[in-house]
C-alpha cells in the first residue's frame, strides 16, 4: 500500500547528498550561467544538507500526466553518470528559467540528488542572493563592503522548492514549497513541474479537522483526554487562521499545564501527522467545510447506544470515563433537565 507520509525527522537526519550542482539565474538574461558539478567538503555537506532538510516539506502534488518532461528528467538524473548529470541539470535549469519570466531576483538554481538509506530523491531549489556585508578596519574606522555571490543560511532566501520522489510506494510525486504562494503553487512553477495538488483544500481541511480526533482515539490510554476535546480545538484553529501551519496547529490542539506531558503529546501528534501526510502541508482552510455535521461528535457503545453532541463534553453535561472499572466497563454520565421521546 502506498504511503501518504512525508519525510520524518529521522529521514531528514539521514539525508546524504550524492550529487549537487547549481547554475546561476539572472533577471536580465534568459540564459542561465552554467557551472560544473560541485565537490563539497564535509562541512559544506552539512550546510547543504541542512538547506535540503529545511526544504523537505510542503504541499503534496502529483504529475498531471504519465510522462511530463520533469518527471522523465527526474527519473534519468537520479541514476545518471557525471556527464549526463551535468547535461540533464542544464536542461532542467533552462526549463525553469524559460517559464520564470517575471517577479524574479538574481540567485542560483540548485539541483541535488540525495539519498535516505536506499531511497533516492531529487531536490530542485531556487535560492535568492542575499546581501552580505563584511567590514574592514582602517584607522579605527569600519569600512563596509558588500560581498557578492554568497549562500545564506537565512531560510527566507529559499524561494521555491520541489522535492521529487520517483518511488512508486508514496502517493505523492512532488512536495512543493513556493514562497510566492505559501498555500499552494504559482502558475509558472506549476507549469514548469506539470503538477496539480494531490488533495484539494477542502480535503485537507477535513483531514486536519479529523486528524486530532483520530490521533487521540489511537492514543487514549497514554495520558490523552477525550478525543472530542482535541477535535474541538482543531476546529477552532481552522476557523480562525488564514493559512494552515503544522506547528501552530499542534500548539493549538495540545495545551497542558504539565510541560513534560505537553512536550510528549505534541511530539506524538507531530509523528502522527507525518505518517498521515498532513505535516508540512500549507493550505487555506475552507471554512464552509466546518459544518455542524462535520463538527458533531458521535460515540457508540458495545450495546449499540449512540451519543451525539457538539462542543465539549462539559458544555453538554456529559462525562465519559477514560478507563474501565473493575467490571471491565466504561462509565458514561449525562446530566439533563429534560428527556424527550423522539422515536
Residue 146: pLDDT above 50?
Answer: no
Question: Given pLDDT bands bounded at 50, 70 and 90, which one contains residue 71?
Answer: very high
- The yes-or-no verdict on residue 248 having pLDDT over 90 is yes
- Whether residue 252 has pLDDT greater than 90: yes
Distance between CA 124 and CA 108 in Å, rounded?
Answer: 11
Give the pTM.
Answer: 0.79
The reported pLDDT for the residue numbered 137 is 57
143 pLDDT above the threshold of 80 = no
pLDDT tens digits, one per residue of 174-221: 989 888 887 889 999 999 999 999 999 999 999 999 999 899 888 876
Amino acid at each position: 500500500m502506498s504511503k501518504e507520509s512525508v519525510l520524518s525527522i529521522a529521514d531528514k537526519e539521514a539525508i546524504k547528498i550524492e550529487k549537487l550542482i547549481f547554475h546561476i539565474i539572472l533577471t536580465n538574461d534568459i540564459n542561465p550561467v552554467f557551472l560544473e558539478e560541485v565537490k563539497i567538503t564535509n562541512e559544506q555537506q552539512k550546510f547543504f544538507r541542512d538547506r535540503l532538510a529545511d526544504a523537505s516539506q510542503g504541499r503534496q502534488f502529483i504529475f498531471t500526466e504519465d510522462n511530463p518532461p520533469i518527471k522523465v528528467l527526474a527519473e534519468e538524473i537520479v541514476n545518471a553518470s557525471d556527464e549526463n548529470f551535468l547535461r540533464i541539470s542544464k536542461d532542467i535549469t533552462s526549463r525553469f528559467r524559460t517559464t520564470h519570466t517575471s517577479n524574479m531576483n538574481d540567485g542560483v538554481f540548485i539541483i541535488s540528488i540525495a539519498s535516505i538509506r536506499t531511497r533516492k530523491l531529487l531536490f530542485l531549489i531556487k535560492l535568492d542572493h542575499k546581501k552580505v556585508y563584511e567590514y574592514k578596519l582602517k584607522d579605527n574606522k569600519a569600512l563596509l563592503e558588500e560581498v557578492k555571490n554568497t549562500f545564506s543560511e537565512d531560510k527566507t532566501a529559499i524561494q521555491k522548492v520541489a522535492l521529487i520522489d520517483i518511488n512508486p510506494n508514496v502517493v505523492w510525486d512532488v512536495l512543493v514549497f513556493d514562497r510566492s504562494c505559501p498555500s499552494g503553487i504559482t502558475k509558472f512553477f506549476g507549469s514548469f513541474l506539470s503538477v496539480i495538488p494531490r488533495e484539494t483544500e477542502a480535503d485537507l481541511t477535513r483531514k486536519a479537522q479529523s486528524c486530532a480526533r483520530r490521533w487521540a482515539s489511537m492514543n487514549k490510554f497514554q495520558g490523552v483526554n477525550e478525543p472530542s476535546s482535541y477535535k474541538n480545538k482543531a476546529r477552532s484553529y481552522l476557523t480562525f487562521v488564514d493559512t494552515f501551519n503544522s506547528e501552530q496547529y499542534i500548539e493549538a490542539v495540545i495545551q497542558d499545564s504539565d510541560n513534560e506531558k505537553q512536550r510528549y503529546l505534541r511530539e506524538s501528534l507531530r509523528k502522527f501527522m507525518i505518517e498521515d501526510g498532513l505535516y508540512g502541508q500549507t493550505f487555506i482552510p475552507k471554512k464552509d467545510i466546518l459544518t455542524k455535521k462535520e463538527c458533531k461528535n458521535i460515540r457508540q457503545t458495545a450495546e449499540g447506544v449512540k451519543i451525539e453532541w457538539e462542543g465539549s463534553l462539559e458544555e453538554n453535561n456529559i462525562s465519559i470515563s477514560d478507563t474501565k472499572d473493575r467490571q471491565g466497563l466504561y462509565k458514561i454520565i449525562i446530566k439533563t433537565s429534560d428527556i424527550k421521546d423522539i422515536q
